[in-house]
Amino acid sequence: MPEGVEIEFYRRQADEIVGRTISDVSAPDSWFLKRGLTSAEVVDAANGATVAAARRRGKLLVLDLSGRPSLGLRFGMTGRLIVGGQAAIEYLEYSSRKNDPAWDRFGLVFDDGIELIIRDPRRLGGVELDPDEEALGPDVFTISPSQLRANVLVGHVAVKARLLDQARVAGIGNLIADETLWRAGIDPARPASSLDNRESKRLHYHLRKVLTDFMRQGGSHTGNLQAFRQRGTSCPKDGTPLERRKVGGRTTYSCPKHQV
């Protein structure tokens, strides 16, 4: 599933189309156009525009268009970005390994023939104009220890649920959250405000380390815990049977021995 790490790969790939001018827009799937946007409106907004910048905030990829509204691209659980026939991520965890053009939900063609495509089997992503970036919290790649404490480690909600709340910190998905909490030795179901300063600093350190490792290794599915996130497995750190439960509405794997 695309999390902040995957969208950062997409952003770097989208740098290829910065400075290029859009000559055609393909928006065949009305479901994929959000906030009441129509195919005619997105064609009118983007066609003939030059891409001034490609930016990311959390799981949102933004294409700034010179003199036009920005394009917000979301990828849901199974969306991949393809530019010039090349995908930044070859496959996504929990998605199909097929590469079917029938799943192309949105596309841009540039004046030199380069194409940008969102290929999304489950249609859980979407496209919008001028996305509300201020509804998102600090970005996961830049959040500071003090921001983490102030935004995330508050209230009686489970710490994992807070980490997954994009309004508090943008870019963390299920795999990043489980890996970070597992490495930090923190029970995902603990009330967010129960973490003391030492645990808060440890959580921030491991979050940064997880992002660095995932970027280097090619995606959020590459964690040390990932191969063991299935029924009947044991913690790769201490051999304790892993606990599988729902935390914050998401399937969660954790070690009841060292995550406290």
Q: Which residue has the tokens 């935004």?
A: 151
138 is catalytic: no
149 is catalytic: no
Question: Which of the residues 34, 208, 250, 257 is marked catalytic?
Answer: 250
> How far is residue 150 from each of residues 137, 178, 194, 215, 237, measured CA to CA in Å?
11, 21, 13, 26, 30
Tokens representing residue 1 in the block: 């599933």
- Packing angle between helix 174-184 and helix 197-217, nearest 10 degrees? 130
> How far is residue 95 from each of residues 122, 144, 251, measured CA to CA in Å?
9, 32, 16
Question: Which of the residues 11, 56, 57, 59 is marked catalytic?
Answer: 59
Spatial separation of the C-alpha atoms in residues 219 and 81, rounded to whole Å: 14
59 is catalytic: yes
Q: Phi then psi for 4, rounded to 5 degrees?
A: -55, -35
128 is catalytic: no
Q: What is the DSSP string of 17-44?
A: GTT-BEEEEE---GGGB-TT--HHHHHH
Question: Which of the residues 2, 131, 138, 188 is marked catalytic?
Answer: 2
The residues assigned a catalytic role are 2-3, 59, 250
